[in-house]
């Protein structure tokens, strides 16, 4: 078996990320906040610069060379995304601002059409606010009910309870592929299969999955899958909603405006075909360039190698922090990816974050936009170190030293 070092040449990869070589308060930056946003390699930054220095123009309607180049690049980005998640067709890829908008689009279009009074929407207890609030808004508007599948103390979805909640009134299931606060990898294939056996469609929030593992939407057979560019080494402000064409074609538009129409009169407007029906207004074109470059970059490394390396690093980190007195890991699921959430007895997570920051170590503290999940564990917040493929064992060792310092100061 290959060692983690052999799987990836991390020192070489780190050189692609200009931001990582900086010092913070005179200490080498240790960036462990990748679940919030990941850093960008040079090819992503250069691709966006290329748009602004060479191709800047509006897309789809231009007849001049710049617009044709930009349109081609933007549509090529769509094909890259299609291949990245193995979607059957490029028209099933809708560019959105990010995961949050992807979920709002499905709730506001598919949800508004299919959910009525007394119907149910099923989510899980570990969802990010972005996969709770859009459904709550819909429930309020329609008089529908939000049902929540519970988890166990390790942070794993209770599949029997989930199955029991799939009822005759369930109109859609919406669950995270990977939890941002716990790192739990949900058995999404099984979740989809159980829902489909009752003809219930499923949306997967893939925000924390795509940076860490190979995603194949045909293999998962999910109806919708959404993710953010900025968590997968691409720009902020661009993301993706994959939807099965059979759904997207029947769904009403989410927003009205330019590009999403095929003809407009004051009497009647006919809508464009998918995906454009859902892409009103000028999109984030440079974001498309950047996202395509991020996919090329990840493809060149290989998602399998990334997954394998990070798995080893997470195991190393879990072992390394386990020896720290008073430290409790929140989220100990058998299948985890990228996230190490913890509390330190008697010390507020914000104090942990502040001391670590002075050591040049960036982690996140708080409720991680998952307040109901924090309530489930009876805690207000956790400290969370989240990994990317450019993180190293040496950085984990720095984290451990930093945590020992936190205990010295507050313990
Ligand atoms: N879902 C999950 C699981 C997330 O981790 C996040 C980002 N923290 C989101 C949704 C929302 O993503 P964005 O803010 O990029 O829309």
pLDDT at 6: 60
Catalytic residue among 56, 139, 222, 369: 369
Contact call for residues 224 and 243 (beta carbons, < 8 A): yes
8-state DSSP, 253: P
pLDDT at 7: 82
d(C-alpha 289, C-alpha 74), whole Å: 7
Please list the residues that pair with 385 across neighbouring strands: 340
Tokens representing 260 are 């999403």
d(C-alpha 70, C-alpha 54), whole Å: 9
pLDDT at 4: 46
pLDDT tens over the chain, length 411 residues: 555 446 899 999 999 999 999 999 999 999 999 999 999 999 999 999 999 999 999 999 889 999 999 999 999 999 999 999 999 999 999 999 999 999 999 999 999 999 999 999 999 999 999 999 999 999 999 999 999 999 999 999 999 999 999 999 999 999 999 999 999 999 999 999 999 999 999 999 999 999 999 999 999 999 999 999 999 999 999 999 999 999 999 999 999 998 899 999 999 999 999 999 999 999 999 999 999 999 999 999 999 999 999 999 999 999 999 999 999 999 999 999 999 999 999 999 999 999 999 999 999 999 999 999 999 999 999 999 999 999 999 999 999 999 999 999 987
From 127, 203, 207, the mutation candidate for ligand 1 (largest count of ligand atoms within 8 A of CB) is 207
pLDDT at 116: 98
Q: Is 369 left (phi over 0), alpha (psi -120 to 50) or beta?
A: left
d(C-alpha 182, C-alpha 337), whole Å: 9
pLDDT at 5: 47
d(C-alpha 120, C-alpha 361), whole Å: 43
How remote is the CA of residue 148 from the centroid of ligand 1, in Å? 19
Residue 340 half-sphere exposure toward CB, CA atoms < 13 A: 25
Position in ligand 1 atom list of the atom nearest CA 369 = 8
Domains belonging to the chain, first-starting first, are: 4-31+302-406 (3.90.1150.10), 45-299 (3.40.640.10)
Q: Which residues line ligand 1 (CB under 6 A)?
A: 35, 98-100, 128, 130-131, 176, 180, 205, 207-208, 228, 369
Residue 139 annotated to the active site: no
Tokens representing 207 are 């925000």
pLDDT at 319: 97
Distances (CA, A) of 261 to 68, 143, 249, 275, 280: 20, 31, 14, 11, 8
Tokens representing 365 are 């503290």
Contact call for residues 62 and 68 (beta carbons, < 8 A): yes
pLDDT at 411: 76
DSSP labels for 76-119?
Answer: HHHHHHHHHTT-S-GGGEEEESSHHHHHHHHIIIIIHHH--TT-
d(C-alpha 325, C-alpha 78), whole Å: 49
8-state DSSP, 154: T
Strands 327-330 and 339-344, how do they pair? antiparallel
d(C-alpha 130, C-alpha 125), whole Å: 13
- pTM confidence score: 0.97
Cis amide linkage into residue 275, ω under 30° from 0: yes
From 369, 371, 382, the mutation candidate for ligand 1 (largest count of ligand atoms within 8 A of CB) is 369
CA 35, chain centre distance (Å): 8
């Amino acid at each position: 078996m290959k060692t983690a070092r052999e799987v990836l040449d991390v020192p070489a990869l780190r050189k692609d990320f200009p931001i990582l070589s900086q010092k913070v308060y005179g200490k080498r930056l240790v960036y462990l906040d990748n679940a919030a946003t990941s850093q960008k390699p040079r090819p992503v930054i250069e691709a966006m610069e290329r748009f602004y220095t060479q191709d800047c123009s509006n897309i789809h309607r231009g007849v001049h060379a710049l617009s044709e180049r930009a349109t081609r690049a933007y549509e090529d980005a769509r094909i890259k995304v299609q291949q990245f998640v193995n979607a059957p067709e490029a028209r099933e890829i809708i560019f959105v601002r990010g995961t949050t908008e992807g979920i709002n689009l499905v709730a506001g279009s598919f949800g508004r059409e299919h959910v009525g009074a007394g119907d149910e929407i099923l989510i899980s207890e570990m969802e990010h606010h972005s996969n709770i609030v859009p459904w709550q808004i819909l429930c309020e508007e329609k008089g529908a009910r939000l049902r929540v599948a519970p988890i166990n103390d390790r942070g794993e979805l209770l599949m029997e309870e989930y199955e029991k909640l799939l009822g005759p009134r369930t109109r859609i299931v919406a669950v995270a592929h990977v939890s941002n606060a716990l790192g739990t990898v949900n058995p999404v294939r099984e979740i989809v299969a159980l829902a489909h056996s009752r003809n219930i469609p499923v949306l997967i929030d893939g925000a924390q999955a795509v940076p860490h593992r190979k995603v194949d939407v045909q293999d998962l057979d999910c109806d919708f899958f959404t993710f953010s560019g900025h968590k997968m080494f691409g720009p902020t402000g661009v993301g993706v909603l994959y939807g099965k064409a059979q759904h997207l074609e029947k769904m009403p538009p989410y927003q009205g405006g330019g590009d999403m129409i095929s003809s407009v009169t004051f009497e009647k407007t006919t809508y464009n075909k998918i995906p454009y029906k859902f892409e009103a207004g000028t999109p984030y074109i440079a974001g498309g360039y950047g996202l395509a470059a991020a996919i090329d970059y990840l493809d060149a490394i290989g998602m399998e190698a990334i997954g394998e390396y990070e798995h080893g690093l997470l195991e190393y980190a879990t072992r390394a922090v386990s020896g720290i007195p008073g430290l409790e890991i929140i989220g100990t699921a058998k299948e985890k990816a990228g996230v190490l959430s913890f509390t330190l007895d008697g010390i507020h997570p914000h104090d942990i974050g502040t001391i670590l920051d002075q050591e040049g170590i960036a982690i996140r503290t708080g409720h991680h936009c998952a307040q109901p999940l924090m309530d489930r564990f009876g805690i207000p917040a956790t400290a969370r170190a989240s990994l990317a493929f450019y993180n190293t064992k040496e950085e984990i060792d720095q984290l451990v030293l930093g945590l020992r310092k936190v205990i010295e100061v507050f313990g």
